[in-house]
Structure 1
Amino acid sequence: MDDEQLRPNFWEKYTLDQLTTAEWEALCDGCGGCCLEKFLDDPESPYEVEYTDVACKLLDCSTGYCSNYENRQQFVPECVSLTADKLPDMMWLPSNCAYKLIYLGEGLPKWHLLLTQDIELTKQGMREDGVGVAGRCVSENQVNEDDLEDRIVRWIQA
Structure 2
Amino acid sequence: MEPFWKTKSLQQMSRPEWESLCDGCAKCCLHKLIDDDEQEDMVVTTEMADTEQLHFTSVACQYLNDKKCECSVYLERTKLVPSCVQLTQDNLDQVFYMPSSCSYRRLQEGRGLPSWHPLLNKGKKSKMHQAGMSVRGKVVFDNMIAEELYEDFIVVWPLNDLD
Q: Same fold (TM over 0.5)?
A: yes
TM-score bin, normalised by smaller chain: 0.7 to 0.9
Mapped partners of 2:52, 2:109: distance in 1: 13
Q: Is the 8 A contact 1:37 1:51 kept in 2?
A: yes
TM norm structure 1? 0.85
What whole-Å deviation, never above 9, does each CA across 1:104-136 have from its counterpart, x for those lacking one? 1111001111112151xx42x223432111211
TM norm structure 2? 0.82
> Does the alignment pair 1:28 with 2:28?
no
Give the structure 1 partner of residue 45 of structure 2.
none
Give the structure 2 partner of residue 149 of structure 1.
151
What whole-Å deviation, never above 9, does each CA across 1:82-122 have from its counterpart, x for those lacking one? 11232223213111111001101111001111112151xx4
- One-letter amino acid of the counterpart of residue 87, structure 1: L
RMSD (CA atoms): 2.1
Pair 1:31–1:45, CA change in 2 (3 A): farther
Q: Which moved more, 1:102-111 or 1:125-134?
A: 125-134
Say how many residue pairs are matched: 149
How far did residue 16 of structure 1 move? 0.7
How far did residue 49 of structure 1 move? 1.5
Mapped partners of 1:21, 1:75: distance in 2: 23
Mapped partners of 2:154, 2:22: distance in 1: 24
Task: Name which of 137, 144, 148 aligns with 2:139.
Answer: 137
Give the structure 1 partner of residue 91 of structure 2.
86
How far did residue 47 of structure 1 move? 8.5
Task: Name which of 100, 107, 131 aligns with 1:102.
Answer: 107
How far did residue 156 of structure 1 move? 1.0
Mapped partners of 2:132, 2:35: distance in 1: 24
- As a proportion of its length, which structure holds more helix? 1
- % identity of equivalent residues: 40
Greater than 6 Å deviation, 4+ residue runs: none
Q: What are structure 1's unaligned runs of at least 5 residues?
A: 1-6
Mapped partners of 2:84, 2:135: distance in 1: 17
Q: Is the 8 A contact 1:93 1:100 kept in 2?
A: yes
Q: Is the 8 A contact 1:61 1:138 kept in 2?
A: no
Q: Is the 8 A contact 1:64 1:135 kept in 2?
A: no
- One-letter amino acid of the counterpart of residue 92, structure 1: Y
Mapped partners of 1:74, 1:39: distance in 2: 21
Q: What are structure 2's unaligned runs of at least 5 residues?
A: 37-47
